[in-house]
Amino acid sequence: MLENQKTLRKEYTFEGKGLHSGLKVRMTVCPAEEGTGIRFVREDLGPDAVIEALADYVTMTQRGTTLEKGPVRISTVEHLLSALTGMGVDNALVRLNAPEAPILDGSALPYVQAFGADGLQEQNMPRTCFNIEEPVHYRDESTGSEISIFPAEDFSVDLTVDFNSHVLGVQKIHFDGSTDYAAEVAPCRTFVFFHELEFLFRNNLIKGGDLENAIVVVEHPVPDDTLARMAALFNVEKVGMLPEGYLDNVRLHFPDECGRHKLLDLIGDFTLIGARIRGRVVADRSGHKINTAVARIVREMMMK
């Protein structure tokens, strides 16, 4: 028997800055009627500036997932989508006054804490589910990333992270119906390699990044003058290195927090299928590009 759809019990407002744009944003996540799914509205553009959270509208996947429908564009939606799906929300209206969702602490935890405090409202329509009846396989030849989905009675994920990094190593993450999303996935923050930071700044990305919303992985020893330059970029007095190979701005919640964040991202990107799926997902070195490509494939299968 299918579960009924669920929505939020009330509205929740979050304020912060966009990770890449650096713009201040006010975002309110609201209950929505059954059968409407998750929709975004850019209130700064008017009440009709709406984008449905569907893979059809993905236009960019560099360092985040961007949706675009006509003149309406919203970036870095994956953490909120992950929180909604992870907590069991089917229908929500998300109102924003800027083109990017706030990064907050780089995880899904602020959303989960807010939504979980009040519980969800059950609705009167069965939840939409799609059974994977034949294996799906997709490989990105440019990156070597692969995702396969096999028929199964329930949704599960086996995810492998391998950046050829002596700091991260190979991280293997499992998720199924027994996993406590709120405790084991939602707190896991986004991460970046130290050697990528200056490149990202130069390419007009991570304008809203700071040392409170990202784990920074340091593969090689860093000279003091480079650390000082990074401190200036992030407008902090100083940064240092931990023996484990991370900047000392944050402490890991889990030894495999970076792998768990990749799972968080996948759950968010798969929300763009527009339905829950029953299938076993096997993901190797996944990212937003391949996540959303597979979401589009499954969505096309579902629409046949």
As annotated, the active-site residues are: 288
Q: How far is CA 90 from CA 86, 148, 204, 277, in A?
A: 10, 24, 34, 13
User: Which two three-digit tokens encode residue 33?
Assistant: 């009627």
> Residue with structure tokens 């991370």?
246
Q: How many CA atoms lie within 13 A of 216 on its CB side?
A: 26
What span, in angstroms and rounded, lies between the C-alpha atoms of 245 and 243? 5
Residue 131 · residue 278 · CB < 8 Å: yes
End-to-end CA distance of the chain: 23
Strand, coil or helix: 55: helix
What span, in angstroms and rounded, lies between the C-alpha atoms of 202 and 213? 19
Residue 138 · residue 18 · CB < 8 Å: no
> Nearest 5°: phi and psi at 61?
-135, 20
Rounded to the nearest 10 degrees, the angle between the axes of helix 78-87 and helix 257-270 is 80
What is the CB neighbour count within 10 angstroms for residue 249?
Answer: 17
The torsion region of residue 206 among left (phi > 0), alpha (psi -120 to 50) and beta comes to left
The DSSP result for 20-54, as a single string, is TT--EEEEEEEE--TT--EEEEETTT-TT-EEES-
Question: What single-letter DSSP state applies at residue 122?
Answer: E
